[in-house]
Amino acid sequence: MESTLLRFTAIGSVDDGKSTLIGRLLHDQSAVYDDQLDSIRRVSREGLDLSLITDGLRAEREQGITIDVAYRYFSTPRRRFIIADTPGHEQYTRNMVTGSSTADVAVVLIDARLGVLPQTLRHTYLSWLLGIRRICVAVNKMDAVDFQQEVFEAIRAALLEKAAELPLVELVFLPVSALQGDNVVRRGASMPWFEGPTLLEYLETVQPAPAILSGLRLPLQTVLRGADSDRFYAGQLSGGAVQPGDQVLLLPSGKSGRIAAVRLRDEALSTAATPMSISVSLDGHVDLARGDMIVDPLHPPTSTRHLKAILFWMSSDPLDTGKAYLLKHTTQTVCAEIAAVEASLDVATLRFEPSSVLGLNDIARVKIETQRPLFCDPYAANRATGSFILVDPVSNGTIAAGIIEAAEQPAGPSSLSRPGDHEGGVLWLTGLSSSGKSTLAVVIHQRLKDLGYRVEMLDGDIVRKHLSKGLGFSKEDRDENIRRIGFVAELLARNGIVAIVSAISPYRAIRNEVRARISNFVEIYVNAPLDVCEQRDVKGLYRRARTGELKGMTGIDDPYEPPADPEVECRTDLNSVESCVSQVFRYAVNRLGGHYA
């Protein structure tokens, strides 16, 4: 029978001997190659420095501390193991969070000479916060306190008193000497008063806390095309299992579907389970993209823009509650703001106290509002769909990691949470004359009104008769016309209104100028070949331009510069109006903070 896999993380403050403990565990298990041992002997100052087995970076060896997360693999006849060796220095606590996020068990080290430190409490709390319910406390360097039982029992009592604030956690205490090897792999004779297991025996027998199943969760990373032009939707399963024939719910559309096939690379599967990376195809034609999610229809995630979360702040710059951050959740990225800081953790007591600020390494309970809905679960139910990171949009650095406690004021899958609850913004339709801009704009306008959006439409021809009366068709006049349209659209968007602009706007630079002024700007390229546009031309403009009667016609004797990277491109020569509208809604409406059925 195949042995089970246990992922565990090793955590400790600086100089607690964590790297030496892991080195001892690997060395006494004969899990270190001879050439690696020879290399370590050459650089060891006294004897064999086992900490160098894991501290592989040059900076780590020079400073004598662990900086990066190192993953080590070994096995025994009873079990296979993946160790995440994480930094203990407060400066690198973010790396500790990364290494612990996938662990089943945490091994927290305490220096017997120093006892329970603030960093020990922070590590214990973070382990619990990250969903680890089995924590082994290794009281190390017992040789430095003459293996006294009284020292061990005092540390045990002190940490148990603090950890009383953590529900459902199981703490096991082991006295060890990583330097001499006592109670790591072998028992040794120095502590006959301890009758518990060695560290290895504990790791071989501990049973991780049972997982809480959230149902199928497949966040989509990309869309693949099969040999027969079939679409396969690829991603890593974040919850549950899936097999051909399963009924599924497709988010954000709220439509139902049925799994036609499941693949692992090019191999067909009869079933797939978390955490496999797979691709699936669906019966019938569906329109899905990165950031969408395939889920269990009986146990769907919550759709919400309002989160109650616990946030671990990783930046030296304090939280700015008036600043917009990027929130990365599963495979989608949305704009978000910290609406409120409710309380921060007092590491000394492991209790949350009222607070309104958040600085480096602080842990706080916060409220977050996102620009468009997330499909999420509480972290206790699903680590993947219950966690996120915050990114600074300017530096692109990760500034915080968070776990979702609950969703507040959830939006339903087919309507806004309340009429008018959406962001203002601009949907800018650009394309050649007769490409279909006005047709799409009218349908989008009506559909948004039906859903309760505050919406206005700015048609290029109508604006010219009023706002831009007197302007000609030179490049300068055309640019000025677009600036005026952009100015009005910006005012509308700033006041929570969705402005739909339908204008040829032929020059890329002026469109980008308008985009730079409007934070929620969606460029929709209504694309149809020139010959198709000429066939549709009910006004006869192209015919007049071809005969020379009309000068400066875009596409004939004046250029049209298509968008370099539009948010949406609608091929109106290939797709129906309804299909194009759905394409716009799938991207733009969710960005503005709503859903549609």
| CATH topology match: 217-295 vs 425-591 | no
Res 108: pLDDT: 93
The CATH architecture one would assign to domain 302-408 is Beta Barrel (2.40)
- How far apart, in whole angstroms, are the C-alpha atoms of residue 163 and residue 153? 15
Q: Say what the pLDDT of residue 36 is.
A: 63
Closest to 295 (Cα-Cα) out of 241, 369, 217, 243: 217
Q: Which residues are catalytic?
A: 505
Low-confidence ranges of the chain (pLDDT < 70): 1-3, 31-69, 87-95, 210-213, 227, 322, 394, 409-423, 450-452, 589-597
- Note whether 389 and 404 are within 8 A (CB): no
Q: Which residues of 381-396 are buried (b: 16+ CB within 10 A; e: fewer)?
A: bbbbbbbbbbbbeeee
By the 10 Å C-beta count (0-12 exposed, 13-18 middle, 19+ buried), 360 is classed as middle
Q: What angle do helix axes 577-584 and 437-450 make, rounded to 10 degrees?
A: 60
Distance between start and end Cα atoms, the chain: 48
User: Could you give phi then psi for residue 332, rounded to 5 degrees?
Assistant: -120, 155
The structure tokens listed for 139 are 């009281």
Q: What residue type is 333 in one-letter code?
A: T
Q: Dump the DSSP string for 218-239.
A: EE--EEEE-TTS-EEEEEE--B
Sequence letter at residue 357: V
The CATH classification number of 4-205 equals 3.40.50.300
Instruction: Return the pLDDT at 113.
Output: 95
pLDDT of residue 118: 86
Q: Residue 135 — φ and ψ, nearest 5°? A: -120, 120
Q: What is the structure's pLDDT at 64?
A: 46
Q: How do residues 546-565 score in pLDDT, each as one tens digit?
A: 999 988 899 998 999 999 88
Q: Are 567 and 586 in contact (CB under 8 A)?
A: no
Please give the class, per CATH, of domain 217-295: mainly beta
The per-residue pLDDT for 46 is 66
Domain boundaries, the chain: 4-205, 217-295, 302-408, 425-591
| Range 425-591 has CATH code 1.10.3720.10 | no
pTM of the full predicted structure?
A: 0.61
Contacts of 403 (CB under 8 A, 6+ apart): 129, 130, 309, 310, 379, 386, 387
* pLDDT at residue 376, rounded to an integer: 92
Q: 3-class DSSP state for residue 8?
A: strand
Amino acid (one-letter) located at 519 = S
Judging by DSSP bridges, how do beta strands 332-346 and 325-329 pair with one another?
antiparallel
Distances (CA, A) of 46 to 143, 184, 275, 530: 18, 21, 44, 79
